Amino acid sequence: MTNATKPTPVLIEKENISGLKFPDTDVLTSKEEIQMRFSNLERALKLGNLEHNKIKIIFEDSEGIKQVNTTVWGVTDKRVILKQGVVIPIHRIHEAI
């Protein structure tokens, strides 16, 4: 599989996420992708809480695709919660690895 079709995400520190603007549209279109994203976020939450493992979250704000390497502290039906109360809307997340 090649990454030729995917733009390279810009690495960002979690402290800078709160200043980003997030559009209301979902970055994923299929039900399968949306379900997989939620499953991966639930797994990331368990890894963060049990083992304090960091994961890569690839998401998209109004300016483009970004990546943050962080520990997930919480997942609601609409947001992913990181340390210091930083949140990313789930509908703007491409993947959690």
Distance in angstroms (rounded) separating the CA atoms of residues 73 and 70: 9
pLDDT tens digits, one per residue of 41-86: 999 999 888 888 899 999 999 999 999 999 999 999 999 999 888 9
- Say if residue 4's pLDDT is above 70: no
pTM as predicted: 0.90
In the chain, where the domains are located: 10-96
The CATH topology of domain 10-96 is SH3 type barrels. (2.30.30)
Q: What pLDDT is attached to residue 1?
A: 41
Q: What pLDDT is attached to residue 70?
A: 94
Burial class (CB in 10 A: 0-12, 13-18, 19+), 30: exposed
